[in-house]
């Protein structure tokens, strides 16, 4: 093979790779658009009247997750299954956002922490790496940490809406979450930096709870059923 033939072969390889990445980008753009639509639906819970609409907003979000599953099914066809991590950077951010949105919906519905398996089911993907397109554990954890920031905002807006017990429940939940993350030895720099933000979320929520306590507005929920 001559030098010219060698570089022509390399160019063919690069062109094919670029075509795959372009196909992936197009699907990811649609995923990002749907993620924005879900976020818009859920953001309304922060409004004073939004707390009464939580069940309806969660139902609407779950409908939109059907579109997410359709896009992800399309994305799976754009690259060889064994090359997941070769192209992972293209969908890492949106997958983390979708993990956050899944976690937020589950929290709003049940005030419980979503599992990695539940997120994977909502998104229509796998948990086990060997089975193909899957939810990487670090992407799941990043989504959970994004949710923590959203809950700190929800705690503040709960007070504005006159829901004085919700911040206390959020505080208990976030403290448990913080305790869980303390058990992890996080070596992923972006994830560790995001975890550092959880400390500020904990402090922010504690300040809300303290202010309510000083004003005599916060009451410990009985047996965790006061929702």
Distances in Å between the alpha carbon of 17 and those of 10, 85, 168, 217?
11, 14, 51, 60
- As given in the structure block, the two tokens for residue 154 are 């929800």
Q: Which residue bears the tokens 């976690």?
A: 103
**Closest Cα to residue 111, out of 84, 67, 147, 78?**
147
CB under 8 Å to 112, separation ≥6 — which residues? 106
Q: Is 222 annotated as a binding residue?
A: no
- As given in the structure block, the two tokens for residue 162 are 């006159």
d(CA 146, CA 201): 10
Q: Cβ distance 227 to 179 under 8 Å? A: no
The CA-based angle 122-169-139, given to 5 degrees, is 35
Backbone angles phi, psi at 126, to 5 degrees: -95, 165
Binding residues: 150
Binding residues for Mg(2+): 150
């Amino acid at each position: 093979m001559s030098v010219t033939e060698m570089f022509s072969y390399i160019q063919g390889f690069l062109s094919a790779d670029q075509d795959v990445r372009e196909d992936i980008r197009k699907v990811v753009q649609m995923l990002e658009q749907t993620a924005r639509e879900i976020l818009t639906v859920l953001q309304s819970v922060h409004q004073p009247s939004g707390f009464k609409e939580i069940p309806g907003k969660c139902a609407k979000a779950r409908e939109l997750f059907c579109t997410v599953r359709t896009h992800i099914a399309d994305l799976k066809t754009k690259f060889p299954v064994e090359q997941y991590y070769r192209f992972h950077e293209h969908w890492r951010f949106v997958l983390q956002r979708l993990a956050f949105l899944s976690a937020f919906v589950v929290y709003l519905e049940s005030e419980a922490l979503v599992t990695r398996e539940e997120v994977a089911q909502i998104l229509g993907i796998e948990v086990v790496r060997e089975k193909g397109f899957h939810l990487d554990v670090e992407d799941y954890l990043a989504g959970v940490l994004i949710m923590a920031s959203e809950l700190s905002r929800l705690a503040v807006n709960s007070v504005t809406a006159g829901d004085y017990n919700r911040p206390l429940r959020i505080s208990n939940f976030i403290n448990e979450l913080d305790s869980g993350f303390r058990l992890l030895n996080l070596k992923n720099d972006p994830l560790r930096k995001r975890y550092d933000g959880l400390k500020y979320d904990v402090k922010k929520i504690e300040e809300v709870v303290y202010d309510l306590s000083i004003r005599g507005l916060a009451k410990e929920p009985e047996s965790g059923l006061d929702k």
